[in-house]
Structure 1
């Protein structure tokens, strides 16, 4: 590997001459670093051919505002030549972690992941472990978070009665502890279980952690039957109880293949805020999810964020055999090769998956949406964004109550208006309202907005529920409807802002329209605009959810008798399996699919019909209807 830096004569009063620098580079793989005037790293990137990659930045118009802004600060560049592109990928990751460049995607370096640990002892302790794995014993994991480990340990101790105490406590016991009394430890400390019997419990626990629950259940079933035949009913009852708990654990994990070894990775991007969620399965066991909030610092797209996350994350953590993503990655083969080389086995990155794998991705995506929403609602960040919004709009005080209205319909059908409310602590979902719009020309968004605002504000002044800031999703046309309604109702001194979509509908490029005709374009880095985006997006989501529900109710009746494909035999099977219609309504798609004669497609149809939604809108939560 060799290093190079831009010669001093290539930097003059005009600025850095990127074209000249690119012409001096070889057509070899390597890593380049862009530096500002103070020598601080702006960006680190890798390339198969350094000359072509660097030249692409300085030939023609920059592809985005982010790139243009970055290039305007470049004072010099450095390069490191590598033998392969895979080696360049590894070096790029190390430099990103050490230099923390302003324009790279930065993932917090979390070096310590939790494991389930069987200690090296004649009667091993089974417990939580985080740190170096140089200590003796056996490890299972890593798990995505401490909560997943503790849930697993609670189940292990309940199922197999394995000790959880430290060796110092174990050696000093003279009588069984509380864990034995509540049935979570077999008390090897006082000799209530032999070493071979404890080893057998430990073997069963290992089978469970390895995802081989089916084999374990078969073994326990045989022992239960043998014990019953020998009239050892207490032993048979214990085996029966363990089998029942194992079945419950299997149902919660819901994995198609017992040997599933994969991570489903989903991304949620809102302006300059991002969340990446990893849903992990190891040996068929669902280890749960973990959320990451990388620092992106500039405008990126989801494939770019995914590639950066995968590279940085799995060079710290052993990857599974399979990674599921929602987007095709431009450098998928390079990343697969580099990560495969570090872990010593083949790794596949797959997108466009179907079946259960698609469901895993959907679960990860919903978790990412919820996690980012929760983070954006956090107190400290919310206060910063409120203050930024106050400065942006030039008002005297930060708004304590923000309301936003949006309209949703399908070619004029089932028009619904939404009103969402945000306070100083974030979304106030108990105050959300929907308005079913009627008596207007289908598709007339202006009339729909006027009707919704009239219904909302007719008695608002008397009840003291006026917002400090009213956001309208739309431009001047929609804003005029709000001005007209408020004027007719005699409501004054209410801040109004129209939120018009920006160029190519890109997030962060919105135009804020004020009643006096002024237009503000604060840009994607504005915390105030990020808050407005969050409120507007929530109003949009809430309106679409209401519209889909209203549209589906007009098309589908929510009784088993009227669901296509559910005849008398299947109705009896459903009602018998779940103990009545209430049980059927409470069941999920996977539980419905487990009933004899009900496939997944029919289960989804039943689930949707009993909730008054269409299959497209499945998964959206119900909220208050005005």
Structure 2
């Protein structure tokens, strides 16, 4: 499928946070922006009257839109920053690397210092972040400083120099902010235990620290030190609301390619994220048409080779969701935990959203192809001999046995065909017997279709478990239709599908489109059945008293209700008002019935 026009692209954008990229007719990136809601933000460019001339010119030049979906607004802000620095689009403000986002550095030294920085050096130190606000960094460091005594000096505290007595404790030691490792007053082990806990706090794992703060706050409040307790409370709130880390940048993940795949019956969608010095600098999704029912493994191996050639990637390591064979030259990693796993998950989300957008675009541009794909998917998922172009779903509705009814809804090519929906009032069953009711309804439906020489469905879905399915089969047997129409039952747990003569249910993937169509069928059948049941009960409740009046028939009841709108108004009507509607004789009967009571 060719790149859809802008109008279709705008209709199918996701509502998630992310970064959007505008391209001109030459395929050049001209603008990068961030959004809390991609669809809302990007659409605003094409619906608003822009005050600034440059924005109007930008909008005129946009030919194609690409985007990268992320988890939070903060991630979108950071990713936007990375992409602007990398590509320097014409309509973006210039960003220079010396104004980068702040990080927290845990220095690689014997007694590590913890401090903020905007620059990253490959010296073995650990960097956490980046943060969109220096205020967040300062608050975190103040929290850490309040909890743990760390050195702030930049002395080289090697074992030889400390043992030789080269340094003396400073004012920080006397103020209680440092335990004096420079004079050997604190052991390396004790200091590193504190550093380990501090790293957990920075990552967001601060359960123990919160407990410590709460105890501290409680103690201060008990000692009437309310101002100090309030300060601790504010710190607790900051900690609780603190977003620990971004999935967008991690200096440990350097010069790596990330790939993931999602697929359906006809196509595979492979997403590629390119990371350089820990930052995402590119996202691209490749759509591959299947020819021979290729597996995800085959498609992914093929796509990785193609994409790496297309973008001239020389990365020596790739991250993928499962093992692939790409030869000895490339290191293949399948992350299970942490930031590396997070980045693979992010890639998968982008592949998934790309696939969803293509489906939406396909529905608009090529509805037949969309229907064909859905039908092929359902045939494979439900193990059918032919595509279920015509599906009928049955549902029983009765409340405590009153007014038992059933509904039959019809889907053609995966869409509701409302003109073919049918209601059934149960005639041969007394009381709330779902099995017998289902048997009656299925028999009546297909007896009629056969008598009228109407086309039969390829699939019947029975809303109920094994019992309702068995009852329906009796009707198909009586009509000699067993084996000519596929039939399945769906249990209350929607993902359980029952087949004739098979005690073990089939379980469908909860995210599969086949299950979504079945769910839509059942919901529609339930809605249609309940609506009819409610109408019958209302009508019965309304008409019951009027129909009990001696000498008054159904025709008279209809005339009265048409004029007075309700039975209550009929009861309170004057004799002459009733005479105007139904004549003198019948009016007297109605009037006497209510007024003699």
Q: TM-score by structure 1 length? A: 0.34
Q: What is the TM-score of this pair, normalised by structure 2?
A: 0.36
Q: Which has the larger radius of gyration?
A: 2
